[in-house]
Structure 1
Amino acid sequence: MRRIALLTHPGAGRGRGAHARAVVLPRLRRAGFEVLDLVGGSAEEASVLARDAVGSGVESLVACGGDGTVHLALQHVAGTATALGVVPAGTGNDLARELGIPGDPAGAADRVVGGARRTLDLARVGDRWVATVVACGFDALVADRAAAMSWPRGPARYVVATAVELRHLAPRRYTLELDGRVRTVEAVLAAVGNTSSFGGGLRITEGARTDDGLLDVVVVRSLDRRGLVRAFPSLYRGTHTGHPAYEHHRARSVTVAAAGITAYADGEPVGPLPLTVTAVPAAVEVIA
């Protein structure tokens, strides 16, 4: 019998994680898998459960939750023989979207049962593995403010945080070191992508590929509040690449420096700038 682990964050997506687990767990067992049912009450507990499951030699670790759950699981499967599965049950679900995994739990479970795999590059920031995008600009400031807010709950928190940060919008001086080449620019946003989108479908690093061994580095040079608001819808369509303030580079390694910004990766805080992000080719197998 094939052994896999299902790691669930029950509170993800305002309870969608628990609902997804109730659908996925019996479906996987009916398909003949021996499923380790891992439910983490905290990030620390979930990390221990995931580490022990991968150490026991499970065939795959299936993350059932949002991008934070996927990011946690990734830390334990990257560089191992254990594949990563994803059942999207959060708000953003950015990696699932990139991989074309269905948003409904039954459809996502069927992908796990099917077992088709592909190999992905990852990004590395210090000792952290990153699947999607490292946010280093206005987007990171919004995430930082939202994390400090107790009200409102859910996606509305990000709307409020965005409105507050827009009032304080100002360009910052960024220094980028791209494979040894140094670029200094005044910008409101900088992002380093392994995949093309973050934040629930904002296609900031449009054109990024997960198998080319390169990172896609995007800078949006100085814009005022009105300009940023007007450009925002184009980020969902990926048509912002023609904007005169848009700048795009590719590199194997990039160091991003700017004052007063905590970077976020896969939606999780990874530390203050400056940070170095490095591409790691073929670092993980995913079920997709």
Structure 2
Amino acid sequence: MPDRADATTADRAMHDVSRTPPSLRVRAVVNGMAGTARGTEQDSFCTRLVEAFVAHGHVADCAVVAPEAVEAAIAAAADDPAVDVLVACGGDGTVSLAARHAVRGGKILGVLPGGTMNLFARSLGLSTDLDEAVLQLAAGTPAAVDIAVIEGDGLGTAGLGGRPFVHQFSVGLKARMVKLRKAIVYRSRLGKIVATLRAAAAALSRPPNFEVEIATPEGTERRRASAVAVSNNPFGDRHLPYADRLDGGQLGLYVAAPLSARGALRLGLDLLLGRWRANPDLQSRTATSIRLAFRGGHVRRCVIDGELVDLPPVVTLRIHPGALTVLTPGPIAEIPAGAPAG
């Protein structure tokens, strides 16, 4: 059976906007170079997607788009008054981009796991098998979930006072790893996995050590760290680092003390295996807002939903409860033979 996030948990976690949605007008944008989407027969995949939504009474169209045209296609869908649902098929970066535009354009967001990790899709309870996820979305219903926003010079805005993100903001260890991976050329999903492992080994062998001031509604502290991360709702246990629910109205804050290479390796393994709470070098808590100030100019890049971006010296992160409407997964049903394609 394909690996599948717990759809029951996701159903409990999110407030349904409507259990019986009317006919929706769906626009799907498939990043043709993203992870699992790269390994599909993309034209036939689009046909199956359209058939699935039509079988549930919706109107749909689908386009496979080159990476350099993904943002324009997503922005056009968000601006189109004839579109109700913007479906994004790609990795966490593509999904995050689509979420920003969905918020800006007042659209419902549909997520398909076309990347490598697909962490936000897992939080929503979607199957990691693309075809199964299509069937779940086509049978799904809209629900309001939280979205996080980071504010800082040069980070842009999408109608919520800053740059929205759906999964995680991170500085330090992960940013170094992503920077190293970007320098490695790869041409397939397997190549990306190998590049990620090589970059992780290099980053873990020399963990960063920087000073950060952390302010929350509970108080302010200054400390040294090898990594700081903030998530849209706190991570769950016993699985990859993603939230079990998306309507808790809280940010997760994670701070790793200055690490040795051995300590960094142990932390990486604990995160992958879902046992991060027991790691002695990692402290976690929740907050509705967090201000981070980086001293000395030693930290210049951050990762926002998988994308490496320039880091302002001071950033503020906030949670916006219920500010994003998504399609939550419905039951999987076979598409009748000969179903019209719209």
The amino acid across from 2:325 in the alignment is E
SS of 1:244 mapped into structure 2: coil
The one of 205, 210, 226 equivalent to 2:246 is 210
The one of 196, 200, 203 equivalent to 1:165 is 203
The one of 88, 101, 104 equivalent to 1:76 is 101
The structural deviation recorded for 1:84 is 0.7
How far apart, CA to CA, are the structure 2 residues paired with 1:109 and 1:167? 40
Are residues 53 and 2 of structure 1, via their aligned partners in 2, closer, same or farther at CA, if it must alter by over 3 Å?
Answer: same
How far apart, CA to CA, are the structure 2 residues paired with 1:207 and 1:105? 20
How far apart, CA to CA, are the structure 2 residues paired with 1:263 and 1:107? 33
SS of 2:134 mapped into structure 1: helix
The structural deviation recorded for 1:171 is 2.2
The one of 164, 181, 185 equivalent to 1:150 is 185
Are residues 208 and 107 of structure 1, via their aligned partners in 2, closer, same or farther at CA, if it must alter by over 3 Å?
Answer: closer
Match of 1:279 in 2: 319
Match of 1:50 in 2: 74
Asked whether the equivalents of residues 13 and 91 of structure 1 are also in contact (C-alpha less than 8 Å), the reply is yes
Are residues 139 and 60 of structure 1, via their aligned partners in 2, closer, same or farther at CA, if it must alter by over 3 Å?
Answer: same
Unaligned ranges ≥5, structure 1: none
Match of 1:175 in 2: 213
Match of 2:137 in 1: 112
- Pairing of 1:24-35 with structure 2 (within 5 A): 24-35=49-60
What whole-Å deviation, never above 9, does each CA across 1:85-114 have from its counterpart, x for those lacking one?
111111010101111101122221122221
Are residues 101 and 72 of structure 1, via their aligned partners in 2, closer, same or farther at CA, if it must alter by over 3 Å?
Answer: same
The amino acid across from 2:26 in the alignment is I
Are residues 208 and 265 of structure 1, via their aligned partners in 2, closer, same or farther at CA, if it must alter by over 3 Å?
Answer: farther
What whole-Å deviation, never above 9, does each CA across 1:133-192 have from its counterpart, x for those lacking one?
101120111012212332583111111111222232242222212237321112111100
Asked whether the equivalents of residues 220 and 246 of structure 1 are also in contact (C-alpha less than 8 Å), the reply is yes
How far apart, CA to CA, are the structure 1 residues paired with 2:286 and 2:279? 18
The structural deviation recorded for 1:37 is 2.2
Are residues 3 and 271 of structure 1, via their aligned partners in 2, closer, same or farther at CA, if it must alter by over 3 Å?
Answer: same
How far apart, CA to CA, are the structure 1 residues paired with 2:292 and 2:244? 18
The reply on whether 1:7 has 2:29 as its aligned counterpart is: yes
SS of 1:155 mapped into structure 2: helix
How far apart, CA to CA, are the structure 1 residues paired with 2:51 and 2:121? 21
How far apart, CA to CA, are the structure 2 residues paired with 1:86 and 1:278? 23
Asked whether the equivalents of residues 131 and 195 of structure 1 are also in contact (C-alpha less than 8 Å), the reply is no
How far apart, CA to CA, are the structure 2 residues paired with 1:47 and 1:185? 38
Asked whether the equivalents of residues 60 and 83 of structure 1 are also in contact (C-alpha less than 8 Å), the reply is yes
Asked whether the equivalents of residues 276 and 282 of structure 2 are also in contact (C-alpha less than 8 Å), the reply is yes
How far apart, CA to CA, are the structure 2 residues paired with 1:207 and 1:47? 26
Match of 1:263 in 2: 302
Asked whether the equivalents of residues 263 and 273 of structure 1 are also in contact (C-alpha less than 8 Å), the reply is no
Instruction: Normalising by structure 2, report the TM-score.
Output: 0.75
Are residues 75 and 101 of structure 1, via their aligned partners in 2, closer, same or farther at CA, if it must alter by over 3 Å?
Answer: same
Asked whether the equivalents of residues 187 and 220 of structure 1 are also in contact (C-alpha less than 8 Å), the reply is yes
Aligned residues: 283
Larger radius of gyration: 2
Instruction: Normalising by structure 1, report the TM-score.
Output: 0.88
Percent identity at matched positions? 25
- Pairing of 1:215-234 with structure 2 (within 5 A): 215-234=251-270
Match of 1:193 in 2: 231
27-36 or 224-233, which deviates more: 27-36
Are residues 250 and 26 of structure 1, via their aligned partners in 2, closer, same or farther at CA, if it must alter by over 3 Å?
Answer: same
